[in-house]
Amino acid sequence: MEEYPSKLLEKAIQQFNILPGVGRKTALRLALFLLRQPKETANEFGNAFIKLRNEIIYCENCFNISDLPLCTICSSPKREDKVICVVEDIRDVMAIENTSQFRGKYHVLGGIISPMEGIGPSDIRVEELITRVKENGIEEVIMALSTTMEGDTTNFYIYKRLKDYNVLISTLAQGVASGDELEYTDELTLGRSLLNRVPYENSLHS
């Protein structure tokens, strides 16, 4: 443990250090950077995070981060009401919105089932999803989670919970990514893309 000549500096370094991917050397560099800024900049910097954490609200329908009780997507009349895309967090919403290929609404779980990290179904917004499906006559639930073990576990849990309702449950297609060279594609992906092959005419849509 290094010794810093100032407790204030040490405290700031500790705080930067809690961020994922920021070690103590980087934390010191960042703290010194802030020290070189005008006081107003440093105040604005600190207050942005306090405000974010204390004032943020989540959309009461889809649980995406929002400034209003209903997020812009849920309150848009242009979005289909009967199709829900289930994602882990807001970054996935943004990624899917960027494709312009989805016109339904989202359900943000706020996490993913991970026994390793002690995150169970009750820690994420699964019940709220079941309620939405039950009460709003949802026709399709698209599972759009990461293709990891945690994603698969979450998919399966939600599938079990929803299968008795009259709703189509789908998942994202898995396969070779656009621009990939076959020889560098991993076996599992290549194998699945063979099993799930599609009629050539279908591939012309996209």
Distance of CA 116 to the CA centre of its chain: 19
d(C-alpha 147, C-alpha 161), whole Å: 20
Site size for a copy of itself (CB under 8 A):
58
Asked if 86 is part of the footprint of a copy of itself (rule: CB under 8 A), the reply reads: no
d(C-alpha 114, C-alpha 121), whole Å: 9
d(C-alpha 54, C-alpha 17), whole Å: 21
For a copy of itself, which is the closer residue by CB, 32 or 188?
32
For a copy of itself, which is the closer residue by CB, 30 or 176?
30
Q: Is the dihedral of CA 37, 38, 43, 44 positive or negative?
A: negative
Asked if 120 is part of the footprint of a copy of itself (rule: CB under 8 A), the reply reads: no
Contact 16/30 with Cβ under 8 angstroms? yes
Using CB under 8 A, which residues numbered 33 to 52 contact a copy of itself? 33-35, 37, 39, 41-52
Asked if 70 is part of the footprint of a copy of itself (rule: CB under 8 A), the reply reads: no
Residues of this chain that interact with a copy of itself (CB under 8 A) are 2-9, 11-12, 14-15, 18-21, 26, 28-35, 37, 39, 41-56, 59, 64-67, 71-73, 89-91, 93-94, 97-98
